[in-house]
Amino acid sequence: MVSPTSFGELAEFVQDSSDVRVSGIWTHSRVNSPTLSLDRLTGIVELQASDQVVTVRAGTRVADLNAELQPYGLEIPLRGFAAWAGYPDSLAAMLSYDLPHGLSRQWGSWRDWVLGLTVVLSDGRIAKSGSRVVKSVAGYDVHKLMIGAQFNLAIPAEIHLRLTPTQAVGEPVVPNESEPATWILRVSRSEFAIAVENEMPILSDPETSTLWLGHRPPESYSHAWAMAIDGSGESWPATSSYYRNRAKQVFDPAGKFSRSWVGNS
């Protein structure tokens, strides 16, 4: 397994490899024989504290980033939630899976926080989209496509992140002791109370109508979706793969990145 420390090393590996599988995504990782670790592509590149923006290497762990930001009164508002939920702990994996957290309605999530993203493409080229400012309409926001792409299209290398003032952020409700959640269920607001009663979640967030469960929920809720977070790759409903396949053909024609999408039909 390769652990690059620079863009150049990462790009060289991706260019030369026919099989790029990123390690350490899930607590119970289902990635067999990973070939690439981002654990050494870490560190803050530039912090603009007064603008509440940081540029950081994609392999950096969220907890480490928040620890470095603490003296400045800034953070990515995930707090202890990600640790409890057993989420992937690197920025690259977090944005690649874009999982709900306990403060999504109040403080947004990855599609709000990622202002710009530098990636390594399947042919080894390095490219970026977005910018370092909180508001920009300059070209196509390809980084929005990479969020949730589960490493299928490119490998994140460096991120411009919007930060949140620590003093404004409340605490997400996290169970003190509980079994680990294995599924996320999101329903409509109108069905949230029923879902809580029926599914008896380990945790629920009424602001976003999200439930964290220890079991696979039934597919009986309207306008709902569910996703396994145990690394199994299961989800419902089946979503159209037409544009995902087209995106895959464009960005990874040789099929060297992850070979499955959570949510694929």
Partner 1 sequence: MIADLSRLVGPEWVLSGAAAERAYDSDAYTVDRSSPVAIALPKDTAEVAEIVRYCVAQKIPYTARGAGTGLSGGVLPALGGVVISTKRLTAILEIDTENRAMRAQSGVANKKLSDAVKHAGLHFAPDPSSQTVSTLGGNIGENAGGPHTLKYGVTAPHILGITMVNPEGEIVEFGGPTAGLPGSEFIGLIVGSEGTLGVVTEAWVQLTPIPRAIQTALIAFPSVRNATEAVAEIIRLGVIPAALEMMDHGILGALRAAFNLQYPEGTKALLLVECDGDDAAVVAEEMTRVRQVAERQSALSFTEATDERERQKLWTARKKGVGAMGRVAPTVVTHDGVIPRSKLPEMLETVYAVSAEYQIGVANIFHAGDGNLHPCFYFDDRDPDQVRRVVLAGEKVIARCLELGGSVSGEHGIGVEKLDLMAIMFTPDDLEYQAMAKSIFSDGQLCNPCKVLPNQKSCTEHRKRWRGIAW
38/95 with CB nearer partner 1: 95
CB of 207: closest distance to partner 1 in angstroms? Answer: 11
Radius of gyration of the chain (CA): 18
- Whole-number minimum distance, CB 9 to partner 1, in Å? 18
Q: Nearer to partner 1 by C-beta: 60 or 150? A: 150
Amino acid at 134: V
CA dihedral (88, 125, 135, 165) in degrees, to 10, reads 30
What does the binding site for partner 1 look like in residue numbers (CB under 8 A)? 48, 50-53, 73, 97-98, 100, 104, 108-109, 111-112, 119, 121, 125-129, 131-142, 144-150, 152-153, 165-168, 186-190, 208-209, 223-225, 227, 235, 239, 242-244, 246-247, 250-251, 261-264
173-178 contact pairs (CB < 8 A, 24+): 173/102, 173/203, 173/205, 174/79, 174/80, 174/81, 174/84, 174/102, 174/203, 175/84, 175/202, 175/203, 178/84, 178/202, 178/203
Report the nearest approach of partner 1 to the CB of residue 233 (Å).
Answer: 10
Work out how close the CB of 173 gets to partner 1 at its nearest, in angstroms, rounded to a whole number.
18
Q: Write out the DSSP string of 26-64.
A: STT----S--B--TTS-SEEEEEGGGTEEEEETT-BHHH
- Chain position carrying tokens 């269920």: 185
135 or 177: CB nearest partner 1: 135
Find the shortest distance in angstroms from Cβ 237 to partner 1: 9
Choose between 3 and 145: whose C-beta lies nearer to partner 1: 145
* Residue nearer to partner 1 on the CB measure, 53 or 93: 53
Q: Are 120 and 14 in contact (CB under 8 A)?
A: yes
Shortest Cβ 146–partner 1 spacing (Å): 8
- Phi-psi bin for 253: left (phi > 0), alpha (psi -120 to 50), beta? alpha
Q: Which is nearer to partner 1, 1 or 253 (CB)?
A: 253
**Shortest spacing between CB 244 and partner 1, in angstroms:** 6
Q: Are 3 and 22 in contact (CB under 8 A)?
A: no
Angle at 149 between CA 144 and CA 151, to 5 degrees: 125
Residue closer to partner 1 (CB basis): 40 or 132: 132
C-alpha 231/C-alpha 218 separation (Å) is 19
